[in-house]
Structure 1
Amino acid sequence: MGLITVVFGLVVVFALPDNVHTCWFLNEDEKLYILENVVRVNQTGTKNTKFKKEQVCELIKDKYTWLFVLITLCSQIVTGAIGTFGVTITLTFGFNNYQSALLQMPIGALVVIIIFITTQLVAKFGNHTLFMASMFFPSIIGAIVLIISPSKVGNLLALYLLYSGSSSITLIYAWIGANTAGSSKKFLRSSMVMISFSIACIIGPQLFQAYSAPAYHPAKIVILITQCLSIPITLFIGIYGSYRY
């Protein structure tokens, strides 16, 4: 899996343009049209490799930055939890080791489907805030079922539902790219969110302590609470971004 990641990374380096000017699949008229839209309408600018200190100060003072950090931490604790303990959780449902390993296989396809559907809905209808907030409802239902259900099939389906909230990180990254002006500020804000994502993935596994095995109710309750909190935080970011100016 690591080798596949490295190879795909090399493909991205050489095949994916890093800005409009080097975009090989656009003609000159299309490049001019996009640049006009980026600079004049969105005001997010084009790629600039010069590091600007004033943008760092602006980034730190901008409450929007810390809201992105907060939503990433809150929404992605579930990623660290189910990413590390997915097989262990499945074992507690009554499946054996072999079955638990096999039952992780559909997750990749499920995540691709969730991300594809949500990104296409955002692209078509444009309401990023509501569509992202809606991703946490399946996770909330899944967390509740995991806490109360004795059925191993029901628990398994509930575990799969948690990946809806986990997949929200895709829309968080897209949100930052569409709402951050200045290359230095965008780079640093993205880095802070990536660090927050990593911290969340460290916190998640720590929820599963030996004393709470095999039910791991404290971990499931924390997942439920953080997914519930992600909805008002997401809505607040959307409202704040719309009316702050």
Structure 2
Amino acid sequence: MNGSPDGMRGLVIAAPSSGSGKTLVTLGLLQAMREKGIRTASAKSGPDYIDPRFHEAASGQCSINLDAFAMTPARIAGLVAALDGDLLIVEGAMGLFDGAPPDGRGACADLASILRLPVVLTVDCGRMSHSVAPLVEGFARHRADVDIAAVILNNVGSARHETMLRKALCASGIPVAGSLMRDAGLVLPSRHLGLVQAGEHDALTGFITHAARLVERSVDLDLLLNLARRPAGSGSGPGSGEGAGLPPPGQRTAIARDTA
């Protein structure tokens, strides 16, 4: 199954809120790792069917959905165990702790807890400096079963701004895995409810390549590889528990991919 002698390891890319740069970081990491010869598998938290298609364009492999609201832990473990790769990158949805009311059930945090994967928190720092510290520390303390293992600073305005952010985070003990400078060329159109799908994004290849170059320059890939851990339940192999197969909701399922 997996090329790594220790089995596939994984990370969760999450954020305090939507629009923080999770997809940018995920796509950049998928292609950058792929170019290093690391076979990357990917998944999206929740039922979003758009971002997995973007993942596939970057990784060259099928991407799946992992839904902590609709799937049992055994189902999630079975789907992950069936993936083929050295590194699994799971992209969160919305904010890390955002889920169904009233208590946030099904949030990306639940998925990270079920799989026992470390979280890399992507923070949009465009309108903050020292406030990044209490924000990150609050997220790190919020749930004992969710491990905020590293931070990626996004939308950084200058070298001076980066220095301020890094110094502010020193006392937290949480490493800064990277700092991405503000780049107007790295903005994806709205993908909410399929407004822009992967096949309709003419500049997608260039966007992913641009993101990968930025990630290579600005993110400590070796640190992330060292932080990655084996997903819980992965040792049992594919087909265990509820397995990877999902029973179809009907006799025939159609997926619309055109602009009609």
Interval containing the TM-score (normalised by the shorter chain): under 0.3
- Which has the higher relative contact order, 1 or 2, with Cα contacts under 8 A spaced 6 or more apart? 1
Taking structure 2 as the reference length, what is the TM-score of the superposition?
Answer: 0.22
- Larger proportion of strand: 2
* Structure index of larger Rg: 1
Taking structure 1 as the reference length, what is the TM-score of the superposition?
Answer: 0.23
